[in-house]
């Protein structure tokens, strides 16, 4: 017991000390707040509905500290509806403008937290960093220079070779002249008597036969190769009506594939997400972060593509509402199995737990989507031969697994052993 009491007192001292320090620090920053802390709070709690400079679900918040009294702001953030009901004129005005969107009450935010957020909102608007643009341009020119450099080297090489040829010719000419001067005769006539090589070739019937056979074989080989790639669109990378970057979504932002392609879980098609799925995020994500831009595509380019989405779905950014005027997006289909082959995504994704990347490649790195796999039958079959069926925890497989593994004397079963190579499993 005594020990406990002692520990408690120690703890109490520590708590009081920390509280004191904290209160001291807050009192120091009172009314000012810490913009850095405010930014992180803002992004956590506010950014879903507010932007600093643009009206979203709620009003733009830059300079909000000047518009309202601090106490009013505390009340508003803690419970806006109560404030509205209390008959406050300012609150009523906001409600009139933004209803029926109700602002979430944040009683967990202390006044200090709110101060921090306000401090963040009070920061002056950053001017677009023009300095960066020359940097980018400079980089591009640098790249260009290196390209030109290669060409220069090539041109120089060609020049050198040309010079060498000319020099050789001149040397030869000079040597010949010296030889003539020295009275050396050339055996021109002898070479004329020699049989031309093509004639010799024609005369050698065996050689003709062999080469014809080789030609035919070679021709057949290439013809076969050509035929087999007809209809195989591996690497097909069409230009899409909206430049949608899987790199940004699946790579940078780590969005799960099945968030957008949700029907892959339950259906045969993975589904192209309908535009309302895009709007789940893009209602608040109206522009890309500056660091998203690459050498190839600028921030303005990406922002423009988001505008295309708004146009297609009929979203009025200024008024934050749907206009009802939609223009469905005509995506170009990339992966296209022929109609006589049945493929079911849910079988592979949900039942087998195959990663999307296994067939679709490193989608999270693709700026522009392309067909990664050949999608040929041989490719399907190979995988079915090599891959073990994922049976653990699936009651469906219990009996059949037990029986089949006894039959084949193995612990794991490939899809082929389960009958996954039968024609009728995919063709009906």
Partner 1 sequence: MASNKKYWKSVEELNPNSSIVETLKQNEFVEEIPVDEFLGDKDTLSSSSTTRRDFLKYVGFSTAAASLAACEGPVKKSIPYVVQPEMIIPGVANYYATTIADGYDFANILIKTREGRPIKVENNKDARFGSGANARVQASVLGLYDSLRVQGPKHNGEFVSWEDLDKAVVAGLNTAQNAGKKIVLLTQTFASPSTTKLISEFKAKYGTVEHVVYDAISEDAALNAFEAKYGVRALADYDFSKAEVIVSFGADFLTDWQGGGFDSGYAKSRVPAKGKMSRHIQFESNMSLTGSNADKRVPLTPAQQKVALAKFYGYLSGQGASGDLPEAVDQAVKNAAAQVARAGKNAVVVTGIQDEDAQTVVLAINEMISSVVMDVKAPKLVRKGDVKAVSQLVKDMAAGNVGVLITSGVNPAYTLPNAAEFDEALKNVGLSVAFSMKEDETSVQTTYIAAAPHYLESWGDVEMKKGFFGLIQPTIRPLFNTKQFQEALLGWTGIGMNYHDYMKSYWEGSILGGSSWNQALHDGVFTGVSVIDEAASEEVDQLVPVSVAGAVSKLSKATADGMELTLYPKVGMGDGQQANNPWLQEFPDPISRVSWDNYLTVSKADAEERGLENYHVANGGLNGSYANVTVNGVTIKNVPVLIQPGQAKGSVGLSFGYGRKAGLKHEMQTGKNAYLFYGGFNPVQTVTIEKAGGDDHEFACIQLHNTLMGRGDILKETSLEIFNTKNSREWNKLPQVSLNHNEVDASTVDLWNEFDRSIGHHFNLSIDLNACTGCGACVIACHAENNVPVVGKAEVRKSRDMHWLRIDRYYSSDETFEGDLETVEGISGLGDSLSTFGEMEHASENPQVAFQPVMCQHCNHAPCETVCPVAATSHGRQGQNHMAYNRCVGTRYCANNCPYKVRRFNWFLYNNNDEFDFHMNDDLGKMVLNPDVTVRSRGVMEKCSLCMQMTQKSILDAKREGRPVKDEEFQTACSAACGSGAIVFGDINNKESQVAELKESDRVYHLLEHIGTKPNVFYHVKVRNTQEA
Binding site for partner 1 (CB under 8 A): 231, 233, 238, 263, 266-269, 271-277, 312-314, 326, 328-333, 336, 338-340, 342, 344, 346-347, 350-351, 393-400, 403-404, 407, 418-419, 422-425, 427-428
- At closest approach, how far in Å is the CB of 218 from partner 1? 22
Of 183 and 328, CB closest to partner 1: 328
User: What are the beta bridge partners of residue 111?
Assistant: none
Cis peptide leading into residue 100 (ω within 30°): yes
- At closest approach, how far in Å is the CB of 263 from partner 1? 5
- At closest approach, how far in Å is the CB of 326 from partner 1? 4
- At closest approach, how far in Å is the CB of 231 from partner 1? 7
Token code pair at residue 334: 């990339």
Q: Which residue has 């609150």 as its token pair? A: 91
- At closest approach, how far in Å is the CB of 251 from partner 1? 22
- At closest approach, how far in Å is the CB of 406 from partner 1? 9
User: Could you give the C-alpha distances from 423 to 7, 354, 397, 405, in angstroms and in order?
Assistant: 75, 22, 21, 23
- At closest approach, how far in Å is the CB of 385 from partner 1? 16
Rounded distance between C-alpha atoms, residue 156 and residue 29, angstroms: 67
Cα dihedral 240/318/95/51 (nearest 10)? 70
Of 63 and 314, CB closest to partner 1: 314
- At closest approach, how far in Å is the CB of 384 from partner 1? 14
Of 243 and 297, CB closest to partner 1: 243
**DSSP of 198-232, one letter per residue?**
HHHHHH-HHHHHHHHHHHHHHHHHHHHHHHHHTT-
Nearest CA to 309 out of 291, 332, 283, 334 is that of 283
Token code pair at residue 140: 């591009």
User: Could you give the C-alpha distances from 283 to 26, 47, 49, 57, in angstroms and in order?
Assistant: 35, 11, 9, 9
Phi, psi of 315 (to 5 degrees): -105, 125
Of 67 and 427, CB closest to partner 1: 427
User: What are the beta bridge partners of residue 414?
Assistant: 388
Of 114 and 375, CB closest to partner 1: 375
Give the relative orientation of helices 70-78 and 111-121 as an angle to the nearest 10 degrees. Answer: 110
- At closest approach, how far in Å is the CB of 391 from partner 1? 10
Of 119 and 349, CB closest to partner 1: 349
For residues 325-338, one letter each, b for 16 or more C-beta atoms within 10 angstroms of the residue's C-beta and e for the rest, the string is: eeeebeeeebbeee
Of 92 and 255, CB closest to partner 1: 255
- At closest approach, how far in Å is the CB of 415 from partner 1? 12
Of 22 and 272, CB closest to partner 1: 272
Nearest CA to 346 out of 338, 332, 356 is that of 356
Of 16 and 377, CB closest to partner 1: 377
Rounded distance between C-alpha atoms, residue 315 and residue 318, angstroms: 9
Nearest CA to 113 out of 42, 185, 18 is that of 42
Cα dihedral 160/163/165/171 (nearest 10)? -130
Of 188 and 340, CB closest to partner 1: 340
């Amino acid at each position: 017991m005594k020990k406990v009491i002692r520990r408690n007192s120690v703890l109490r001292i520590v708590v009081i000390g920390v509280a004191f320090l904290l209160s001291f620090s807050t009192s120091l920053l009172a009314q000012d707040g810490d913009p850095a802390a405010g930014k992180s709070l803002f992004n956590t709690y506010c950014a879903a509905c507010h932007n600093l400079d643009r009206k979203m679900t709620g009003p733009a918040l830059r300079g909000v500290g000047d518009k309202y009294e601090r106490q009013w702001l505390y009340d508003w953030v803690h419970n806006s509806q109560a404030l509205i009901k209390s008959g406050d004129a300012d609150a009523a005005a906001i409600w009139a403008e933004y209803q029926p969107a109700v602002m979430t009450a944040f009683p967990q935010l202390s006044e200090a937290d709110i101060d921090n957020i306000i401090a963040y909102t009070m920061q002056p608007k950053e001017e677009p960093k023009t300095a960066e643009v020359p940097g980018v341009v400079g980089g591009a020119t640098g790249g260009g220079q290196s390209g030109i450099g290669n060409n220069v080297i090539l041109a120089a090489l060609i020049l050198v070779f040309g010079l060498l040829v000319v020099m050789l010719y001149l040397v030869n000419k000079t040597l010949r002249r010296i030889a003539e001067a020295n009275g050396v005769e050339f055996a021109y006539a002898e070479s004329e008597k020699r049989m031309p090589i093509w004639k010799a070739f024609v005369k050698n019937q065996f050689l003709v036969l062999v080469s014809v056979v080789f030609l035919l074989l070679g021709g057949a080989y290439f013809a076969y190769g050509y035929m087999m790639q007809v209809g195989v669109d591996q690497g097909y990378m069409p230009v899409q009506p909206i430049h949608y970057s899987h790199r940004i979504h699946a790579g940078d932002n780590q969005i799960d594939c099945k968030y957008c392609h949700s029907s892959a879980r339950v259906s045969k098609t993975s589904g192209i997400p309908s535009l309302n799925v895009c709007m789940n995020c893009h209602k608040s994500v109206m522009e890309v972060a500056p660091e998203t831009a690459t050498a190839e595509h600028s921030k303005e380019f990406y922002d423009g593509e988001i505008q295309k989405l708004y146009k297609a779905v009929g979203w009025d950014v200024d008024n934050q509402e749907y206009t009802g005027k939609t223009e469905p997006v005509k995506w170009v289909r990339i992966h296209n199995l022929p109609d006589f082959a049945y493929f079911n995504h849910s079988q592979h994704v949900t039942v087998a737990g195959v990663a999307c990347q296994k067939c679709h490649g490193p989608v999270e790195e693709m700026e522009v989507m392309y067909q990664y796999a050949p999608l040929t039958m041989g490719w399907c079959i190979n995988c079915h031969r090599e891959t073990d069926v994922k049976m653990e925890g699936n009651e469906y497989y219990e009996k059949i697994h037990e029986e089949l593994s006894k039959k084949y004397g193995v612990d794991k079963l490939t899809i082929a052993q389960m009958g996954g190579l039968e024609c009728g499993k995919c063709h009906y």
